[in-house]
Amino acid sequence: MFEDFEATRIQVDGASVFARHGGQGPPVVLLHGHPRTSATWHRVAPLLVGRGFTVVCPDLRGYGRSVGPAPSADHSAHSKRAVAGDVVEVMRALGHDRFALVGHDRGGCAALRLALDHPDAVSRVALIDCLPVSEHLSRLTVAFATQWWHWFFFAQPDVPERVINADPDAWYHGDPVAMGRENHDEWRAATRNPDVVRAMLEDYRAGLTVDRRHEEEDRAAGNRVWCPALVLWSLRDDLEQLHGDPVEIWRQWAPDVRGHGIDAGHHVAEEAPEPLAAALADFFGGRPG
């Protein structure tokens, strides 16, 4: 994986972030979702390099090989605001003050927070298979609570750690053929690490508390994502089925937004790397494919 990419560990406020980076050209950051690591982009990143970009793939705070900090009582240590700050510091350490940004799943929530908190740093943002946490919760239905029940289970204290760590291989399912063997092995090693499991759960606990509050404060203050935004979603996932057209929902957060679905399941970077990379490169202004 990631031939010709460098692997770097960067110390930021309260965390040590592992990141892969490679290529030449305008910088693009790829933020993964739960329960993946930066390796989920192993098929997309080289395609973006080929389209003329520098690509940076960090492990989110506490995920994969990124470490710390210890959880805090109010879950702010794993808030999207903290993760967004990590990404800005990582990019500055690599020499990039302004960059394009991609976030999938939980990484999409972090990308939203980064674009809101650091608008001067983000030139364009792509949001994949995600909505703001507050939008999900404001549309809460029996179907959502049934299909996305893990949000509420993960938010419970202590119990999820005991359940998952008792048999992480049974809890987290992955196909090494579909994922790619090296990606699968890296992901499996992460899910067997109790510290990573705890951090991933803290991500969800922050989502229902501090992250939701930050989003509601932004809405009340009239804050928006002012850079151009691209919204993509997996047609064989359930986001559109549960909530309707994601672009229409995102237009309440980003005035300049466009988007479309991609024929894939939820882990689109692994299942449909070519159409995903093409959509991102076209949006970010890369070289013709």
Q: Verify whether residue 120 is a known catalytic residue.
A: no
Q: Which of 34, 118, 184, 266 is catalytic?
A: 266
Rounded CA gap, 206 and 236, in Å? 28
Q: Which of 32, 96, 104, 105 is catalytic?
A: 105
Strand 99-104 with 229-234, pairing:
unpaired
Q: Verify whether residue 266 is a known catalytic residue.
A: yes
Catalytic residue annotation:
105, 266
